[in-house]
Amino acid sequence: MTAIVTDLSTDAKTGGVILGGKQLHPLWLRERVQETHAYDHYNHQRLYEHSGLDPTLKVKKAAIGGNSSTLLVKFSDGYEAVFELSALAKELGILDDPESIPLPKSWDASLPFKRFNWNDLDNPEEMKSLLTAYFENAFCIMDDTPTERDSLRSHSKRFGFLRETNFGELFNVETKPNPSDLAYTDAALASHTDNPYRDPVPGIQYLHCLRNEVQGGLSTLVDGMAVAEAIGDENPDWLDSLENTIVRFRYQGPTGIYESSGPLISRDHRGYISHIRFSSRVDFVPALDPKILDMFYAARRRMHQLSNDLAFQIQFPFKPGTLLMMNNYRLFHGRTAFDGDLGYRHLQGCYIDHDGPQALYRALANGSTNTHILREA
């Protein structure tokens, strides 16, 4: 077999090893031992508290073994461990890890996107390809789902765990009198993200079309990552203001008051845009120095313009059976106007957490043929 890593030496300076050019702390290695007295191979958890390890632990001897597939280590306390080199190499980024979630790719109106068919998703390859599209683009569209009322509950549970809110497990988007939200009218909806006033903000939103007899009412999506990049290119101070001004969001409805605070744009530890909060009816910036607010208002105005700019926006119709799955932390969504008097339009929506589709992706990447997320008994 081809050796995964060939260069290995003990590191006198740190008491650890240097493997594939990476310095490894002796405790880092020790916490990864997989011998059965130290690691449960069923639940993949350590069988000890790592604070109990000797803080002065060192590596005394290290060698590549097992036909170049293992790392053999003797520690200063006499413990001898055998590590799978491939597992270490994946964690160190030396080998590709099939479990890695596909990275986000920013897009604009020119994005060519595939619509998936619900009936094809029992094929693990097709489900993996749908999830890949979802992680890259932050949305995917499925057609031909069953359209019984409330069937969204089981459709969405295929991917993850339902997040109930004060609107219930499922909410209905249809024209109705005395609406508690603009979504329940036939008005156009500008680009926004859902529920920034909630703590935590719902991760993934589903919209499921049961009936649609109207013209218009197209669903619109805009990539928040692309908008943030464009704002940063135009004026880095604007992006800075949007990332560093903490805004309070508040919803006051018939059943309760919900509040949460955060910047309009956040990044994750890798620097990727990870959370867009934008809902221009429910945001309240603090009374900061007027000069600071001048900058913030200009930046927020630009964010609103770009998030409604057709150059960034894709539009698509909902037909009965269409199911949209979108990342509410990355995309703006909205809809074009329609005339509710001309016909009936009924969508149902719900939210799930981010981690469900990630777990399903990892299972498929590890060879599972089950295209539904598993629940522990």
Binding residues for Fe ion (CB under 5 A): 194
Q: CA 353, CA 194: separation in Å to the nearest integer?
A: 14
Least gap, CB of 173 to Fe ion (angstroms): 8
If the CB atoms of residues 81 and 201 are measured against Fe ion, the closer one turns out to be 201
Long-range contacts of range 116-122, CB-CB < 8 Å, 24 or more positions apart?
116/140, 116/141, 116/142, 116/143, 117/142, 117/143, 117/144, 118/142, 118/143, 118/144, 118/145, 118/146, 118/155, 118/321, 118/323, 119/144, 121/371, 122/371
Least CB distance from residue 279 to Fe ion, whole Å? 8
Q: Return phi, psi of residue 125, to 5°.
A: -65, -40
**Cα(115)–Cα(322) distance, rounded to whole angstroms?**
9
Residue 211 corresponds to which amino acid?
R
When the beta carbons of 194 and 223 are compared against Fe ion, the nearer one is: 194
The C-alpha atoms of residue 52 and residue 308 are separated, in whole angstroms, by: 56
Angle CA 220–225–229, to nearest 5: 120
Helix H or strand E encompassing 243: helix 236-244
Q: Report the residue number, 136 or 194, with the smaller CB distance to Fe ion.
A: 194
Taking the alpha carbons at both ends of the chain, their separation in whole angstroms is 40
CA distance 263 to 239: 11
As measured in angstroms, the least distance from the Cβ of 327 to Fe ion is: 13
278 vs 361, beta carbon nearer Fe ion: 278
CB nearer to Fe ion: pick between 205 and 371: 205
Distance of closest approach, residue 183 Cβ to Fe ion, in angstroms: 6
| Cβ atoms 24, 91 nearer than 8 A | no
- DSSP secondary structure, 100-134, as one string: SPPPP----TT---PEEEGGGTTSHHHHHHHHHHH
Least Å distance, CB 278 to Fe ion, is 11
CB of 246 to Fe ion, least distance (A): 23
Find the shortest distance in angstroms from Cβ 207 to Fe ion: 8
Smaller CB separation from Fe ion, 164 or 234 = 164
Which lies closer to Fe ion via its Cβ, residue 202 or residue 321?
202
Shortest spacing between CB 267 and Fe ion, in angstroms: 23
Kindly give the residue spans of alpha helices, DSSP state H, lying in 7-151. Answer: 26-30, 85-91, 124-137
User: Residue with structure tokens 């799955």?
Assistant: 325
**Residue closer to Fe ion, measured from CB, 68 or 252:** 252
Taking the complex as a whole, the smallest distance from the CB of residue 323 to Fe ion amounts, in Å, to: 16
* Least distance between Fe ion and beta carbon 188 (Å): 12
Which amino acid is present at 335?
R
* CB nearer Fe ion, residue 128 or residue 335: 335
- Do 139 and 320 touch, CB atoms closer than 8 A? no
Looking at beta carbons only, is 276 or 364 nearer to Fe ion? 276
Minimal CB distance residue for Fe ion: 194
Q: How many CB atoms lie within 10 A of CB 168?
A: 9
**Parallel/antiparallel/unpaired status of strands 115-117 and 139-143:** parallel
